[in-house]
Amino acid sequence: MDDIAGIIVAAGRGIRAGAGLPKQWRLLAGRPVLAHTLTAFRVVGIDRLVLVLHPEDRARADELDLTGVTLVTGGASRTDSVRAALEALVGAPPRQVLIHDGARPLVSAEVINGVRAALTESNAAAPALPVVDALWRGEGGKVVGTPARDGLFRAQTPQGFAFAPLLAAYRAHAGTASDDVEIARASGIEVAITPGSDDNLKLTHPQDFTRAERILAARQETHMRVRIGNGYDVHRFGPGDGCWLCGVLVPHDRALMGHSDADVGMHALTDAIYGALGEGDIGRHFPPSDPQWKGAASHIFLRHAVARALAHGLHIGNCDVTLICERPKIGPYAEAMQTALAQIMECDRAQVGVKATTSERLGFTGREEGIAAIATVCLVAH
């Protein structure tokens, strides 16, 4: 049983946010809002995610890194959407689940981890901010009452729960609800309040995007930095009729051998990114002892490394890969390799370098026993 899963609810139309795309698909600092939201969960190690989408938005999901993400079609209401997501987890139920609004892309690690910590002692917890302003009740454009604000909170997400009790609560609940806390409480589940954040705003109106851009700019200023990493990898030749190199299948009279598809160039680049982050190598994240990665396409590893960089507030500044071999000849395929790597990393091709050299017939590469690759990457704050 997995320890925890995250549900990202993003099936709404977001009409109050203005014309154009639904708010969860609009760009924020050059990336779709949902890309920021997914990154916020990955940065705290929640890699099992359920993304609930409107049926009209399914094709747009290809814009996102969907590693570890299950896509679920949403319902007519938020309640229906969350219920569908919970049912999608039943086959392999997690112990806990966090439910988050897709339009809250700036949720911090502190807010998420605060909920997780509270779940060690409670079956439910949710972040909130105490109401500090005076409250008015209005009618016809005039103040008709001044209710007390004592004990009132502004609810936020993610709202966290022990999975089994929440699933039972949803199955027993008829109709809709404003949020998951309402359904939990209707089933008798006590909900702990954890600290929220003013930055954890829900994008609702056009001006919210302006505020969110300012928050991201301030974070970038605070965390401006550059990280450099390098990677090195080797794979031997074996039987076959082509080699995967930097995402391109290059015809050859032999293939490279390895636990995955043995793309030596992509492995070196992936390790360079992990190295820049201080997060080890591919083997730490995708152990070769795990049979699920046997024969896996190497773009899975590279996308994960890039997602980890994004989770740290970093993106690809530029990278360079050198393939060391006598054959096959790399030159005719170098541009295609640049394009493939750029697409996988969601960056411009001009940020990617791919070249090759021989070892003057010296060593194992000179004897054509295998191919080596070295890679360097520069990560910069975004």
pLDDT in tens, 209-249: 999 999 988 876 655 578 999 999 999 999 999 999 999 99
pLDDT tens digits for 308-325? 998 888 889 999 999 999
Task: Name all domains of the chain by residue range, CATH numbers in brackets.
Answer: 4-223 (3.90.550.10), 226-381 (3.30.1330.50)
Query: Which stretches in the chain have pLDDT values below 50?
Result: 1
Nearest to 86 by CA among 22, 163, 33, 145: 163
Backbone angles phi, psi at 163, to 5 degrees: -65, -50
Query: 225: which 2 tokens?
Result: 């930095």
Residues 6+ apart with CB under 8 A from 380: 225, 226, 227, 314, 315, 317
pLDDT at position 20 is 73
pLDDT at position 222 is 58
pLDDT at position 1 is 37
Strands 49-53 and 69-73: parallel
pLDDT at position 221 is 64
